[in-house]
Chain A
Amino acid sequence: MSISIRPGRPMDASDAARAREHQQALRAELPLVREAAHSWRIGLGGLLLALVGFSLIRGPSEVDKVEPPWNVVIGCLLLVSLATGAYGAYRLLSAHNGRPRTRPVDRRTSASTQNHLLALTALKDLRHGIIATFLCTVFLVAAVGTTWYGPEKAKPKLLVRTTTGAVLCGDGATGDGRRLTLKTKPGRVGVPLSDVLVVETVEKCP
C-alpha cells in the first residue's frame, strides 16, 4: 500500500479551534466510555437483580410440574440465560475497568492514540455486554413464561381390568358402591364393581 501526504487546504482560526476540540475530545474519550460502562453496568445489574429477586422460578419442584420435554426446554433456557448473563457481566466489567491483563509497552504511539484504541475496545465490550445482558433477560423471561404457561405434567391415570377382558383407562374415578365410573377419552364409562379384576395407577393410558 502506498501513502502520499500533500499540503491540504488553507486553514483559518475556526478550523484550528475544531482541530483543538477534536484533540481534546480524543483525550477525554476513554474516561467517557468508562463512565458510560459504569452507568450501564449499574442499570443492567439492577434489572437482572430485580428479575431474579422476584423469585420467578422457585426451583426444580416448579420445573418438574411441566410436561416433558418442556421441563428440559426450561432447563436449557435457564442455562443459556446464566451463560449469557455471565458473559455480559464480564464484558460490562471489562468495559468499565479494562481487560484483566497487562498490555505490552508501546513507545511507538502517542498516549492519545493508545487511549483511543482502549476506548474502542471498551466500546466493543460495552456493546457486547449490553446485548448479552438483554439476551440473558430474554432467555430468563422465556424460561419463566414456559414455567408458568407451559403444559402441565399429566396426572397419574387409573387402569382397570375387568373379568370380561376389557381394559379401561382414565381419571376422575367415582363410585356408588356398585359401579365404578371412569372419565376416559371417549367419555364416562361405568363398570360394575363385581367385574373389576385389577385397578392400578399408570403414568399414561396405553
Chain B
Amino acid sequence: MLDPDSGLSLTIARIVQRLKGSSLHSQLERQARVSLHKPEIKLESLKEDIKNFLKTSGWEKKLQNAVYSELNVFPSPCHPAAPPEHMKEPLAYMRKAQGSWEKRILKSLNSMCTELSIPLAQKRPLTEQKELLNKWNEMGTDEPDLSLFRPVYAPKDFLEVLMNLRNPNYENGEQPSFRNHLGLIQVPLKVKDIPELKEDFSELGLNIGQLGIDDSAQVPPEFFENEHVRVGQKVLAEQDSAAAQQYVRQGCPTALRPELWALILNISNQPEDILYYEQLKSNVIQYDLLVDSLIYKDVKLTASNDDYYFVFEDYLYQVLLCFSRDTSVLEHFTYSSATPPKSYIRGKLGMEEYAVFYPPNGVIPFHGFSMYVAPLCFLYHEPSKLYQIFREMYVRFFFRLHSISSHPSGIVSLCLLFETLLQTHLPQLFYHLREIGAQPLRISFKWMVRAFSGYLATDQLLLLWDRILGYNSLEILAVLAAAVFAFRAVNLMEVTSLAAAEAVLADLSTLKVMPLLQIFLFATVT
C-alpha cells in the first residue's frame, strides 16, 4: 500500500523509463528535429513552438496513446519493500499453487519428450527450412502424424487444480459450515456483487443504446446505429485510445471494429513491426520446436473442426508459431503469476550463461489455445497486424485465463464470481444442480477459459470482446456465464444428471449476449 503521491510518481517514472527505450521516443525526437526547419518555429520560443508543432501534427496524441496503453497493461506499482514476486501475485499460497501447477506441466512435457525420444528444440536441416518456407501460406495442407502427441493439459485438468486450491490460514473444516463455499472454488477472494457490477458496467444499462440489441419497440434501431457509426468515425479520426475504449463499451460497428480495437491496443503496424514479424517468421523456419507439434495438434482438434474458423487454419499456424518464438512476450511475466519454463542448451546443463527459456516466449500452449486467435482472423487479414493484435490481447487479458492468481480478472476470481452470482441470484437452481452432481462451474469453466471463443456465434463473440476491451476486464465473462444459466434455468431445473445439464447448455451459438447481460445485470430484481 503506497500513499497516492509516491504511487503516482513511481508510475510516472516507470512509464518515462519504458517509453525512453521505445521507437516512439526516437520518432518524436526526429520529428522535433525536422520541425526546426519550419518557419513557424521561432528561436525565442523554441520549446513552446516545438510543443505546439508536436500537438498539431498529431504526435502528442501518439504519445498520449502510448502512455494510456502502459497504464492499462501494467499494474500500479507495489510497495518498495515488496519483493518482485509480490507484484506477480501478492498471496503466497497462490504463488505456491501456480508453481506446483507449472512443475506438473514441465513433467508432462519432459515425459512426452522422453517417451517419443524427440528433443524440445533443434535446428532444422537446410532442406527442411526451404520446404517450410515454400509452404508457409499453406501449412494446413500438411498432415503430419501427431497421434502420439497429446495436449499438455485441458481446461478440465486445470479446473481440478483450482478446486483443490486452499488458503492454509483459512478455517477449512471438514464439516460443511458457513465458511465453506457451496461451489467448487474454496478460496476467500473478494468478488463483486450485482450492485457493484451495475455500477462498473453502467454503460450496459437498459436505457443506454447498445449494438447487439435490436428489440427496442419505440425507437427504430437504425436511429441509434447510424448515430453510433458517426461517433465511431469521429473517434477514429481523433486517434484517441481512451475515447475508443469508452466508445466500444456500447459495441463496435462491424466496419469500424478492426481499426477501433487496434487503436485501443495501440497497434499501428509500422514498418518496424512488420520487420519484427518477418524476423519471427525466420526464427520459425530455422528452429524446430516440440511445441510446434502441440500447436498443430491443437489447431487440428479445435479450430479446424469449427464451422466458423476452419477457413483460418493457415493463419492460425502462422500466428501461433511466430508467437512461440517471440521473446517480447516474456515481459508479461513481470505482472503474471506464471513463470516461464527454463532449460539449458544441450550439453551445458547447469551453466547459467547457457540458460534459456522454453519456448522462447515462455508460454506452453494447452488444449484450446488456438481459439484465442481464431476470432481475430475475422478482423485482420494481414498476418503481421493479426499477430500484433493477438499478442497484445494475450499479454493484456488471455494469460489471466490459465494462471492461478488473485487478480479480479484472473480465472480463480472469475470462477468464484460466477458461482457467487449464480448462488445468490438463482439459489434454487444452484442447489438443484449441486444436488444432482452437476456443479455449474463444471459446465461453465471451459467457456470462461476460452473467453467463450468457439461457443458463441462470431458476431456475438466480438460484441462480448468489445466489452472486455472497453472495460479492460474479464469479469464480464463470469457475468455472461451466470446469465446463460439464468436464461436456461427452467430447463435446467428439470434435468437430473450432469450429462443432461450439459446437453441443455451444449449449444450457445444461438444466444444473443447483450440482451442476456442486460437482463441479468439490470432487469433482475435484487
Chain A partners chain B: no
B residues in contact (CB < 8 Å) with A: none
A residues in contact (CB < 8 Å) with B: none
